[in-house]
Chain A
Amino acid sequence: MEVQPHKKIAQLEFGIMSPRFIKDMASAKIVTPELYDKEGYPVDGGLMDVRLGVIDPGLKCKTCGQKLKECPGHFGFIELARPVVHIKFINVIMDLLRCTCRDCSRILIPKNKIDKFRIQIEEVGEISGLTARRKTIKEFISALKTVNKCPYCKAKQFKITLEKPTTVIEDEKRLSPIEIRTRLEKVTDSDIELFGIRPESVRPEWMILTILPIPPVTMRPSITLESGERSEDDLTHKLGDIVRINQRLFENINAGAPEIIIEDLWDLLQYHVTTFIDNNVAQLPPARHRGGQPLKTLTARIKSKEGRIRHNLVGKRTNFSARTVISPDPKLQINEVGVPLVIAMKLTVPERTTEWNMKYLKEFIERGPGKYPGSNYIIRPDGKRKKITDETKEQLLEEIQPGYIVERHLMDGDVTLFNRQPSLHRMSMMCHRVRVLPGLTLRLNPAVCAPYNADFDGDEMNLHVPQTEEARAEAEILMEVQTQLISPRYGLSIIGCNQDAISGNYILTQPWFKVPRSEAIDMLSAIGIEDFSKFTTKETVTGKEIFSYLLPTDFNFKGLSRLYKDAPEDPDSVVEIKNGKILHGIMDKNNLGEGSGLLLRTLHKKYGSTAMVDILGKMYRLGIETLFRHGFSVSLSDLDLPAESHKEVKDILLKAEQEVEDFIAKYNDGSLEAMPGRSREETLELRILERLNRARDDSGRIVTKKSKQNSHMMNMVRSGSRGNVINLAQMAACVGQQALRGGRISIGYRGRTLSCFNSNDLRAPARGFIRNGFKDGLKPHEAFFMAMTGRDSLMDTALRTPKSGYLYRRLANALQDLKVEYDYTVRDAGGRIVQFQYGEDSVDVSKSEAGKINIRKIVRSVE
Chain B
Amino acid sequence: MDSVYKEYESELPPQIIEEVKKHVEKNVSKPRLKKIMEEVYREYKQTIADPGESVGLVCAESIGEPGTQMTLNTFHFAGVSEMNVTTGLPRLIEILDGRKEISTKMTEIHLKKPWSGGKDITKIAKSIKETTFEEHINSIDIDMVELTMVIKLNEDTDIAPEQLVKILSKSVRAFTFKLDKENNIVVRPSSKDASLNSLYTLKEKIKTVWVSGIKGITQVLPVKKGDNFIIMTAGSNLKEIAKLEFVDLYNTTTNDIFELERTFGIEAARQGIINEIQKVIKTQGIEIDIRHIMLVSDTMCMSGSVLGINRYGIVKEKPSVLARASFETPIKQIIEASLIGESDYLNSVIENVMINQPVPVGTGIPTLIAKISKSKGDLK
Contact = CB atoms under 8 A, between A and B. Distances in A.
Given A474-B363, A815-B296, A859-B23, A309 B57 contact: no
B341 interface: yes
A528 interface: no
Given A201-B341, A808-B60, A129 B221 contact: no
Interface stretch (A21-29, A430-438, A761-769, A842-850): A842-850
A13 B341 contact: yes
A819 B55 CA distance: 5
Contacts of A828: 56, 299, 318, 348
A318 interface: no
A435 B48 CA distance: 35
B231 to A, nearest CB: 11
B36 A862 contact: yes
Given A89-B335, A853-B40, A9 B355 contact: yes
A119 interface: no
Interface string B257-292: 000000000000000000000000000000111111
Which of A129, A741, A826 gathers most chain B CB within 10 Å? A826
Contacts of A824: 48-49, 51
Contacts of B44: 843, 853
Given A12-B344, A200-B341, A813-B315, A839 B295 contact: yes
B310 interface: yes
Nearest to B300: A814
Contact of A851 (B73, B289, B363): B289
Nearest to A310: B326
Nearest to A92: B339
Interface string A412-438: 000000000010111000000000000
A402 B317 CA distance: 52
A534 interface: no
Contacts, number: 336
B295 A815 contact: yes
Contact of B19 (A832, A848, A855): A855
B16 interface: yes
B70 interface: yes
Interface in B69-91: 70-73, 75-77, 80-82, 84, 89
A417 to B, nearest CB: 15
Interface string B12-52: 01011001100110000000100110011001101111111
B25 to A, nearest CB: 8
B140 interface: no
Given A834-B298, A844-B48, A861-B39, A197 B339 contact: yes
B369 interface: no
B194 interface: no
B61 A742 contact: no
A143 interface: no
Contacts of B57: 812, 815-816, 818
A647 interface: no
Contact of B291 (A804, A830, A843): A843
Contacts of B92: 807
A11 interface: yes
Nearest to A304: B330
Contacts of A321: none
Interface in A224-249: none
Given A489-B292, A843-B291, A830 B60 contact: no
B348 A829 contact: yes
Given A314-B326, A817-B347, A807 B36 contact: no
Which of B24, B36, B331 gathers most chain A CB within 10 Å? B331
Which of A1, A8, A316, A845 gathers most chain B CB within 10 Å? A845
Contacts of B183: none
Which of B49, B59, B323, B348 gathers most chain A CB within 10 Å? B49
B55 to A, nearest CB: 6
B330 A302 contact: yes
Contact of B318 (A197, A830, A839): A830
B298 A491 contact: no
Contact of B340 (A198, A316, A814): A198
Contacts of A11: 343-346
Nearest to A86: B335
Nearest to A15: B341
B93 interface: yes
Nearest to B82: A678
A814 B299 contact: yes
B54 A819 contact: yes
Given A490-B287, A816-B56, A859-B23, A829 B50 contact: no
B340 A130 contact: yes
A738 to B, nearest CB: 14
B103 to A, nearest CB: 15
A862 B96 CA distance: 44
B322 interface: yes
Given A818-B295, A838-B49, A842-B49, A803 B93 contact: yes
A303 B341 CA distance: 21
B75 A742 contact: yes
Contact of A816 (B60, B76, B316): B60
Contact of A3 (B13, B96, B345, B379): B379
Contact of A820 (B55, B330, B355): B55
Contacts of B353: 313-314, 316
Interface string A779-820: 000000000000000001001110111011011111111111
Contacts of B24: 859
Nearest to A134: B339
Nearest to B36: A862
Interface string B215-234: 00001010000000000000
Which of B57, B315, B351 gathers most chain A CB within 10 Å? B57
B289 to A, nearest CB: 4
A14 interface: yes
Contact of A817 (B56, B291, B316, B379): B56
B291 A796 contact: no
A14 B294 contact: no
B172 interface: no
6 contacts: A10-B346, A197-B341, A309-B326, A816-B56, A851-B290, A858-B40
Interface of B: 13, 15-16, 19-20, 23-24, 32, 35-36, 39-40, 43-44, 46-68, 70-73, 75-77, 80-82, 84, 89, 92-93, 96, 219, 221, 287-292, 294-296, 298-299, 302, 309-310, 313-316, 318-323, 325-327, 330-331, 334-351, 353-355, 357, 360-363, 372, 376, 379-380
Interface of A: 1, 3, 8-16, 88-89, 92, 129-131, 196-198, 200-202, 278, 299, 302-303, 307, 309-310, 313-314, 316, 381, 403, 422, 424-426, 474, 478, 488-492, 675-679, 682, 686, 741-742, 796, 799-801, 803-805, 807-808, 810-822, 824, 826, 828-832, 834-835, 837-848, 850-851, 853, 855-856, 858-859, 861-862
Q: Rank and list the top 8 A-B pairs by shortest CB-CB distance, nearest first.
A: A818-B56, A808-B64, A839-B291, A201-B341, A829-B348, A804-B67, A815-B56, A817-B348
